[in-house]
Chain A
Amino acid sequence: MATFFGEVVVAPSRAGVDDEEESAEEAREETPEDREIRRELEKKREIDVLWTLKSGASADSSADEPFVCSKFIVAIGHNAAAFLSSFILDSVCWEVVGVAKLWNEWCRTSNTTNVLPTDSFCLFYRLISDPTVLLCQCSCYVAEDQQFQWLEKVFGCMRKEGLQVTILSTCPVADYKTQESTLTLPSPFLKALKTKEFKEQVCCPLLEQPNIVRDLPAA
């Protein structure tokens, strides 16, 4: 499926996605029942971010003062989450401080914090020796309509001054656009994107056009 300059394509349809349905839906007057159904569906797709404070008491994300965070590392997808589990996380240096619960057609997050690598989960950890360092493992798929919500709810709890965010993610090599064929590319390989505020040295080459990043890492 050809993709263009930056267009995110959801196969098999391209730009004119479902617009007949969409405009027909919009045009039809919504009855109170429709509105109710729509509201219930939206509620079901809401994301709950629960933080457990040091004292062990659970607090609603909205009730808290934004907490200070200097570094926030987010691992999105099974591979990135597994990387963190294998090389970074351990029960001695890191403690679980939060969990995000969500549901969509592709997955439902597990309820426990004692998760298996094959589960879908979204957990937040804090470095015990430096509580301003946070880590997130998000191996569940966050749907398009939930990505913005996830972003607002998670980042809404942190102070953003002096915050450095690192996002780890993986993509199939077949999706990589390059002049040569991807068969001959030595994989796996790293590419990076950075904002102009990031002044440190990046450890790998930058992602060349016309490659793009989409979904939660992009959000």
Chain B
Amino acid sequence: MFVPCDRGGGSASSDFKGFTLLMPAVSVGNVGQLATDLVISTLDMTKVGYFYTDCLVPMVGNNPYATAEENSMELSINAEVYSLPSKKLVVLQIRSPFIKHKYRPFCQTLLSWVKSSKCARVILLSSSHAYQRDDEQLLGTPLRYLLTPDLEKAVGGLMQELNWKEMEKVAAYPGINDTEKVLHIPGGGITKLLFTESCSKGIQMAVLLKFCSEGDNIPDAFALVDYLNEWLQLIKSEVNTSSQWKIPSSWRLLFGNGLPPALF
């Protein structure tokens, strides 16, 4: 599945032992993917390979993180891997939706890659439909986290210190039987599947998600990446952290082209 780039770095650049894998779920508002873009762009991460997979809709374009003419000509596809060895961080960016019936095969292949490349833990950035919140969730922070039991042991205490809120479970049969609770992440794409699979496979995974709606999700992406930064400290968190994340050049023209002058 993972195809390393030919960068002369050889196997060194695709050795992810002990690294943290950061990846998005294709979810409501694409918030996870936008947040991942911010991380890759700000930390100027190097592409080390891609996923050759039939689970995602194909797409290709030129370098989305181009800063100048010289680096704008590298092709970019739907699932690419970037790395920053100094922070022991490897990032998978997903750029297109999943093909029907391919959620499970993708999750299984991904998790077996995580195990074989000996990543220490996985952090999944995701989002969930804001309109599905209950009365309590409407108040307070829209950010939530989830930890697999294996990661709970390692960082559970840190979450308490950061005063983070764990994603609440909902009744399996609302109105009929309120005792049986299940995890429900509407609009979260592969989030729930990947999380439950990780729990059963003993993988250390954290899910960081934000309640949001479709629209201009750039502020949601900033909120999510700031949330992530509280934990991982990827960039120095000064008073106004939001302004320190670098927006990639591919975010231009998100809402259409320029207006025709003839309109006026």
Contact = CB atoms under 8 A, between A and B. Distances in A.
B61 A23 contact: no
A182 B97 contact: no
Nearest to A147: B58
A20 B186 contact: yes
Interface bracket on B: 35 or more
A148 B56 CA distance: 10
B258 interface: yes
Nearest to A215: B58
Interface stretch (B68-76, B150-158, B198-206, B232-240): B68-76
Interface string A134-162: 00000000001101110000000000000
A209 B186 contact: no
Given A16-B27, A209-B66, A4 B57 contact: no
Given A4-B254, A5-B250, A10-B97, A16 B34 contact: no
Given A22-B103, A181-B257, A8 B62 contact: no
B193 interface: yes
A160 B260 CA distance: 46
Contact of A206 (B73, B104, B259): B73
B51 to A, nearest CB: 12
B252 A210 contact: yes
Chain A's interface size range is 35 or more
A207 B62 contact: yes
B99 to A, nearest CB: 5
B114 interface: no
Contacts of B214: 14
Contacts, number: 175
Given A8-B57, A182-B257, A15 B27 contact: yes
B60 A218 contact: yes
Given A26-B193, A178-B253, A16 B59 contact: no
A7 B30 contact: yes
B33 A181 contact: no
Contacts of A216: 58
Interface string B155-190: 000000000000000000000000000000011111
B57 A144 contact: yes
Interface of B: 26-30, 33-34, 37, 54, 57-64, 66, 72-78, 95-104, 129, 186-190, 192-193, 214, 248-262
Interface of A: 2-10, 14-20, 22-23, 25-26, 38, 144-145, 147-149, 176-184, 193-196, 206-219
27 contacts: A2-B254, A4-B34, A6-B59, A7-B96, A8-B59, A9-B97, A15-B29, A19-B190, A20-B186, A22-B100, A22-B103, A38-B101, A145-B102, A177-B253, A179-B258, A183-B262, A184-B260, A184-B261, A196-B73, A196-B75, A208-B72, A209-B252, A212-B61, A214-B96, A215-B58, A218-B59, A219-B58
